[in-house]
Amino acid sequence: MKNPAPVTRIIILGNVAVAVLDVLLTLGQPRTDSVVRQLLALSPANLLDGAWWEPFTYMWLHAPPVGFWVTHILFNMMTLS
Is pLDDT of 21 > 60? yes
**What is the reported pLDDT for 56?**
85
Short-list 49, 48, 51, CA closest to 37: 51
* pTM recorded for the entire structure: 0.65
Q: Which among 37, 39, 9 is positioned nearest to 23, based on CA atoms?
A: 37
Residue 31 pLDDT class (50, 70, 90 cuts): low
Using the predicted structure, report yes or no on whether residue 69 has a pLDDT greater than 60: yes
Q: What is the pLDDT of residues 35-59, one digit of tens each?
A: 787 888 888 999 999 999 989 888 7
